[in-house]
A and B are shown apart, each in its own frame.
Chain A
Amino acid sequence: MSCKWRGGRLALVAVVGAAWTVGTGCRETEPERSENPTDTMFADFAERLDAYTTLRERLTDSIGDLDPTKSQEEIAARAVALGNAIIASRPDAKQGDIFSPEVAAFLATLIRQEYSRRSEPVLETRQDQQDELPDFEPRVNQIYPTTYPLATFPPALLPVLPPLPEVIEYRIVRDYLILRDVEANVILDFIPRAVPSGG
Chain B
Amino acid sequence: MKRQFAMIVGALVAWAPVAAKAQEMRLPVMPNSVRFLVLGDAGTGERQQYEVAAQIVRYYAEFPFTFAILLGDNIYGKERPQDFAQKFERPYKALLDAGVKFHAALGNHDDPNQRYYKPFNLDGKRYRTFKEGNVRFFILDSNYLDPEQVKWLEKELEASDSEWKIAYFHHPLYTTARRGPEVELRAILEPIFVKHGVDVVFAGHEHVYERFKPQRGIHHFLAGGAAKLRKGDTRRGPLTAAAFDRDRSFMLVEIIDDKMFFQAISRTGVVIDEGIIPSRETAEATRASVLPLVRSP
Bitwise, B129-155 to A at CB < 8 A (1) or not (0) is 000000000000011111110010000
Instruction: Answer whether A155 and B116 are a contact pair too, CB < 8 Å, given A72-B81, A128-B179, A169-B144.
Output: no
Cα of A147 to Cα of B183 in the assembled complex, Å: 27
Cα of A27 to Cα of B272 in the assembled complex, Å: 55
Residues of B within 8 A of A142 (CB): none
Residues of B within 8 A of A22 (CB): 147-148, 151
Q: Which of A72, A122, A155 contacts B117 (CB 8 A)?
A: A72
At the interface, yes or no: A141 with Cβ under 8 Å from chain B?
no
Which residues of A (75-95) have their CB < 8 Å from a CB of B? 75-76, 79
Q: Are A126 and B124 in contact (CB under 8 A)?
A: no
Q: Are B118 and A124 in contact (CB under 8 A)?
A: no
Q: Are A128 and B180 in contact (CB under 8 A)?
A: yes
Q: Which of B147, B179, B182 contacts A163 (CB 8 A)?
A: B147
At the interface, yes or no: B80 with Cβ under 8 Å from chain A?
yes
Q: Are B108 and A75 in contact (CB under 8 A)?
A: no
At the interface, yes or no: A35 with Cβ under 8 Å from chain B?
no
Residues of A within 8 A of B113 (CB): 75-76, 79, 182-183, 185
Bitwise, B178-199 to A at CB < 8 A (1) or not (0) is 0111111101100000000000
At the interface, yes or no: B93 with Cβ under 8 Å from chain A?
no
Bitwise, A127-158 to B at CB < 8 A (1) or not (0) is 01001100000000000001101111111101
At the interface, yes or no: B64 with Cβ under 8 Å from chain A?
no
Q: Which of B81, B109, B145, B187 contacts A76 (CB 8 A)?
A: B81
Number of interface residues of A (CB under 8 A): 40
Bitwise, B160-204 to A at CB < 8 A (1) or not (0) is 000000000001000000011111110110000000000000000
Instruction: Answer whether A155 and B188 are a contact pair too, CB < 8 Å, given A68-B117, A70-B119.
Output: yes
CB distance from B151 to the nearest CB of A (A): 8
Q: Are A150 and B147 in contact (CB under 8 A)?
A: no
CB distance from B205 to the nearest CB of A (A): 9
Residues of A within 8 A of B284 (CB): none
Q: Are A121 and B183 in contact (CB under 8 A)?
A: yes
Q: Which of A69, A146, A152, A156 contacts B143 (CB 8 A)?
A: A152
Number of interface residues of B (CB under 8 A): 37
CB distance from A143 to the nearest CB of B (A): 12
Select from chain B the residue with minimum beta-carbon distance to A169.
Answer: B144
Q: Are A150 and B116 in contact (CB under 8 A)?
A: no
At the interface, yes or no: A73 with Cβ under 8 Å from chain B?
yes
Residues of B within 8 A of A151 (CB): 108
Q: Which of A66, A152, A155, A183 contacts B108 (CB 8 A)?
A: A152
Select from chain B the residue with minimum beta-carbon distance to A161.
Answer: B146
Q: Which of A24, A75, A158 contacts B116 (CB 8 A)?
A: A75
At the interface, yes or no: A101 with Cβ under 8 Å from chain B?
no
Cα of A67 to Cα of B80 in the assembled complex, Å: 18
Which of A22, A146, A158, A159 lies at the interface centre, i.e. has the most chain B CB atoms within 10 A of its CB? A158
Instruction: Answer whether A146 and B78 are a contact pair too, CB < 8 Å, given A68-B116, A158-B146.
Output: yes
At the interface, yes or no: B84 with Cβ under 8 Å from chain A?
yes
User: Could you tell me which A residues sit within 8 Å of B by CB distance?
Assistant: 20, 22, 24, 66-73, 75-76, 79, 118, 121-122, 124-126, 128, 131-132, 146-147, 149-156, 158-159, 163, 169, 182-183, 185
13 more A-B contacts (CB under 8 A) besides A128-B179, A153-B144, A158-B144? A67-B116, A68-B118, A69-B116, A71-B81, A72-B81, A125-B182, A125-B184, A149-B108, A150-B112, A152-B142, A152-B143, A159-B146, A163-B147
User: Could you tell me which B residues sit within 8 Å of A by CB distance?
Assistant: 77-81, 84, 108-109, 111-113, 115-119, 122-124, 142-148, 151, 171, 179-185, 187-188
A–B pairs, 16, beta carbons within 8 Å: A22-B151, A66-B116, A69-B116, A69-B117, A70-B118, A72-B80, A76-B113, A122-B184, A131-B179, A149-B108, A150-B108, A155-B145, A155-B184, A158-B144, A159-B147, A185-B113
